[in-house]
Amino acid sequence: MPFPTDEADTYHPILSGVEEEAATLGQDLILFTGTSGPGARQEAAIRRTRLADGCLFFGRHVPEGPVSRLVDDGFPLVYIGRRPELGGRIPYVGADYVTASALVLRRLLDLGHREIRYVREADEAPSSEDRQRGVVREAPRTGVVRLRGTNLTATTVRGWVADGVTAVVVEGTDTGTAYRAVRQAVDAAGLSTPDDLSLAVLGGPPGVSGFEVPMREMGRRAVRLLVDLVTERTTAPQQLLRCPQVDGAQVGPPRSR
């Protein structure tokens, strides 16, 4: 993935947290780029991380081959984000998306919503699975919609409303694809939130109803965990952080029909 130098980039707060905690602990940072390339180039890039005492990784997918070799050799590494790959052997600091997503759905249910749609991207990743798990755990009747590309139409959204849907919940990702598609379709349909339709995002833009991903704290905590692994200090190698709920103005009681 491109290095997130733009402050508006989703991953920028993670890097800010990494830098802050490394400075606090008196640790030096070495930046490696190019690990997203294919095949031998990716393998070589990840092999270069051994120049450091330990390494932080982040991204939606794990290059399992080269990372497995690092883990097998006992090289200290920490992923930022929950990683179930390699039989659960990867140390990580992630966000508790299951609980946070369930709380968003609980709020909607408490407000009186019963017909809900959940829109997620087509891509498979642990963070996507965790969000959906929280949604269906709290509200099993929620209809799950897989977004193919960005083609969600105003007609589709109007059809949902005609069928009695009063709330739409959207997967939040680094691309923001699902949220933008839903927001554009709602606007194109001439509907307003929350009067016509409540809209919540599971880790979306600041201030939007849903929850906030603790990006900066994940970066800070990942540095602390990596230092613990490098120094062979007793620690919890896999950690999940709480996601603060965001009330926002896009969610309200369903309008009587």
Instruction: Determine the pLDDT at residue 1.
Output: 44
Tell me: the pLDDT tens digits for 156-187?
Answer: 999 999 999 999 999 998 888 999 999 999 99
Instruction: Determine the pLDDT at residue 11.
Output: 80
Instruction: Determine the pLDDT at residue 180.
Output: 93
CA dist., res. 207 & res. 191, Å (int): 20
The answer to whether 143 and 181 have CB atoms below 8 angstroms apart is no
Tokens matching residue 90 = 């990867």
Q: E strands, the chain, where?
A: 55-58, 77-80, 92-95, 116-121, 143-147, 167-171, 198-202, 210-211, 238-241, 245-246
Confidence label for 39 from pLDDT (cuts 50, 70 and 90): low
The answer to whether 132 and 182 have CB atoms below 8 angstroms apart is no
The answer to whether 251 and 107 have CB atoms below 8 angstroms apart is yes
The answer to whether 62 and 79 have CB atoms below 8 angstroms apart is yes
Nearest CA-CA partner of 226 in 96, 49, 6, 2: 49
Q: Is the pTM of this model over 0.75?
A: yes
**83 Ramachandran zone, left/alpha/beta (phi>0; psi -120 to 50):** beta
Does residue 71 surpass a pLDDT of 50?
yes
